[in-house]
């Protein structure tokens, strides 16, 4: 990936796709071919529209696609892409989520009993932090006007940063420039300004935690052998490590262990995130919830994904008139199954979201003998949501107010990249 494309991709991920990627974001060649064929057919039948140039509208369209992706992934994570797989996902529990959270990642078809684990956390993995000198923020920088550079060694890679200091620039202006420079580089380092009584300091923090065997730092800053003028590291104090990185320390069923990260797997069964230190002598129990609790959790996650999507679309009601059409369609899908959903404790609200009567839902789940029979209508509802999310993801421009130029000649139209190019260009706009 070239430097410009890399910048575009990083901007897309940080601006439009804050949600973490999942295994459902990878696709087989056959799936990609199917998407391609759908795009070709879509572009063949679409009328011609004037290009959309509004930045707000462009961001709305990209966000709409990402929210559709999020809804699809929610359904996929509940087994909705597999026949008879929906709502059979097992749920994990943690007796103290202030110490650790747990997600079951083992096989849903496993016939063996899943064991419980006793987890006790002694220390969390920490990041490395370098804190520079506190300089008078509005004071004139003592660095002579010139082009400076310094090197950062991180993950066994060396990166050189170059910047200029102009005549009369203040310390804070120089520091803020370096904050932008470092954060835009995306090398696993985050920069920020620390302030105290009118003085500012440049803080560098690693994104990674812990230390690999034989290493005593995550990153190091130096300008001893840099290509441009040196002196910035000493003046700003960038080489001072204010907090060393450290590994997580914990025990599982009495066995003492360490980890570079606060994210780990227990027995290839549970995905664990360490969140705090255990009270002395009080281990946290990790295990599987009962089938009724797991089923209830699955329904909560489905409804949560649906509500998040509707609320995201509703947030554009005042600025994007076509978002009303999407909300009406979502409400229409839910209303089709309205009476069936109500018997499970799911009630359609005026704004298009679903409210959950926890007691009714739990009673329904507890009395379930056959998931397909009891929750059949909810499965059909989720299948409709899956199709709608695919449709929105394929062409979010359907819900953008745009000016039509002309219909295509019926019977004589042909595939063209117009609609998809207009959408894709939104992510690249401004980089070329």
Residue 116 shares a structural domain with residue 216: no
pLDDT for 187 equals 93
Neighbours of 422 (CB within 10 A): 18
User: Residue 107's closest CA among 128, 122, 123, 85?
Assistant: 85
Beta strands 284-288 and 117-123, pairing class: antiparallel
Kind plus residue range of the DSSP H or E element containing 199: strand 199-209
Residue 391 shares a structural domain with residue 307: yes
Task: Look up residue 369 and give its DSSP letter.
Answer: S
Residue 273 shares a structural domain with residue 298: no
Angle at 316 between CA 180 and CA 65, to 5 degrees: 70
Residue 268 shares a structural domain with residue 328: no
User: Residue 175's closest CA among 152, 200, 198, 150?
Assistant: 200
- In the chain, % helix, strand, coil (3-state, to 5) comes to 40, 25, 35
Asked which of 209, 225, 243 is the last residue of a domain, the reply is 243
pLDDT for 97 equals 95
Asked which of 180, 208, 243 is the last residue of a domain, the reply is 243
Q: Are 270 and 104 in contact (CB under 8 A)?
A: yes
CA dist list (Å): 370 to 75, 87, 322 = 20, 12, 41
Three-state secondary-structure class, residue 55: helix
| Residue 162 in tokens | 């170059």
Task: Look up residue 417 and give its DSSP letter.
Answer: S
Residue 83 shares a structural domain with residue 113: no
| Residue 279 in tokens | 């009270």
What whole-number distance in Å separates Cα of residue 297 and Cα of residue 9?
Answer: 34
Task: Look up residue 89 and give its DSSP letter.
Answer: -
Residue 234 shares a structural domain with residue 144: yes
Neighbours of 271 (CB within 10 A): 16
Residue 259 shares a structural domain with residue 213: no
Residue 80 shares a structural domain with residue 131: no
Task: Look up residue 23 and give its DSSP letter.
Answer: G
Residue 30 shares a structural domain with residue 113: no
CATH code for position 206: 2.60.40
Q: How many helices (H) and strands (E) does the chain have?
A: 12, 20
pLDDT for 84 equals 65
pLDDT for 432 equals 39
What whole-number distance in Å separates Cα of residue 110 and Cα of residue 114?
Answer: 9
| Number of domain units in the chain | 3
Burial label for 204, CB within 10 Å (0-12, 13-18, 19+), is buried
- What sections of 1-113 are H helices per DSSP? 3-16, 29-45, 55-77
CA dist list (Å): 61 to 8, 49, 329, 375 = 17, 15, 17, 33
Query: What tens-digit pLDDT sequence spans the chain (432 residues)?
Result: 444 445 444 555 445 544 566 666 666 788 778 877 877 777 777 777 777 777 888 888 888 888 988 898 888 888 777 766 677 788 899 999 999 999 998 887 766 788 999 999 999 999 999 999 999 999 999 999 999 999 999 988 999 999 999 999 999 999 999 999 999 988 999 999 999 988 999 999 999 999 999 899 999 999 999 999 999 999 999 999 999 999 999 999 999 999 999 999 998 899 999 999 999 889 999 999 988 888 888 889 999 999 999 999 999 998 898 899 999 999 999 999 888 889 888 999 999 999 999 888 888 888 776 676 777 888 888 889 999 998 888 888 888 888 777 777 776 666 665 555 565 556 555 443
Residue 120 shares a structural domain with residue 261: yes
| Residue 317 in tokens | 């009601």
Q: Which domain holds residue 105?
A: 92-125+247-288
What whole-number distance in Å separates Cα of residue 424 and Cα of residue 418?
Answer: 10
Place of tokens 């000493």: 234
Residue ranges of E strands in 95-188:
100-104, 117-123, 127-131, 135-136, 146-154, 157-165
Residue 277 shares a structural domain with residue 316: no
Angle at 46 between CA 40 and CA 48, to 5 degrees: 120
Residue 119 shares a structural domain with residue 259: yes
Asked which of 288, 312, 341 is the last residue of a domain, the reply is 288
């Amino acid at each position: 990936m070239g430097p410009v494309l890399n910048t575009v991709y990083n901007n897309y991920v940080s601006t439009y796709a804050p949600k973490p990627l999942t295994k459902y974001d990878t696709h087989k060649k056959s799936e990609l071919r199917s998407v391609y064929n759908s795009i070709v057919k879509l572009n063949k039948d679409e009328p011609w529209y004037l290009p959309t140039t509004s930045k707000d509208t462009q961001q709305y369209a990209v966000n709409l696609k990402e929210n559709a992706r999020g809804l699809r992934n929610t359904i996929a994570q509940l087994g909705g892409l597999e026949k008879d797989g929906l709502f059979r996902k097992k749920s994990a529990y943690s007796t103290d989520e202030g110490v650790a959270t747990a997600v079951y990642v083992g096989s849903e078809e496993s016939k063996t009993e899943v064991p419980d684990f006793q987890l006790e956390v002694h220390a969390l993995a920490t990041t490395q932090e370098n804190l520079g000198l506190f300089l008078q923020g509005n004071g004139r920088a003592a660095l002579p006007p010139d082009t400076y550079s310094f090197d950062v060694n991180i993950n066994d890679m060396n990166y050189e940063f170059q910047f200029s200091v102009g005549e009369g620039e203040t310390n804070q202006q120089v520091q803020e420039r370096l904050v932008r420079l470092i954060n835009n580089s995306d090398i696993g380092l985050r920069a920020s300004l620390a302030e105290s009584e009118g003085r500012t300091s440049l803080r560098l923090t690693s994104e990674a935690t812990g230390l690999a065997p034989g290493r005593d730092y995550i990153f190091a800053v130096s300008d001893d052998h840099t290509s441009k003028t040196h002196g910035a590291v000493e003046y700003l104090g960038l080489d001072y490590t204010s907090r060393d990185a450290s590994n997580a320390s914990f025990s599982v069923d009495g066995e003492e262990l360490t980890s570079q990260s606060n994210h780990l797997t227990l027995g290839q069964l549970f995905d664990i995130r360490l969140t705090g230190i255990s009270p002395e002598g009080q281990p946290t129990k990790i295990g599987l919830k009962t089938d009724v609790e797991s089923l209830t959790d699955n329904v909560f996650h489905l409804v949560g994904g649906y509500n998040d999507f509707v609320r995201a679309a509703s947030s554009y009601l005042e600025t994007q008139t076509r978002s009303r059409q999407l909300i009406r369609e979502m409400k229409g899908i839910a209303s089709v199954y309205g009476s069936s959903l109500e018997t499970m404790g799911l009630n359609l609200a005026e704004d298009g979201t679903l409210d959950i009567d926890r007691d009714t839902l739990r009673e329904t789940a507890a009395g379930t003998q056959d998931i397909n029979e009891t929750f059949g209508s909810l499965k059909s509802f989720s299948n409709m949501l899956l199709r709608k999310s695919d449709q929105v993801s394929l062409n979010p421009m359907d819900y953008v107010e745009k000016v039509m130029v002309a219909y295509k000649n019926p019977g004589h139209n042909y595939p063209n990249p117009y609609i998809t190019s207009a959408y894709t260009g939104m992510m690249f706009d401004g980089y070329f």
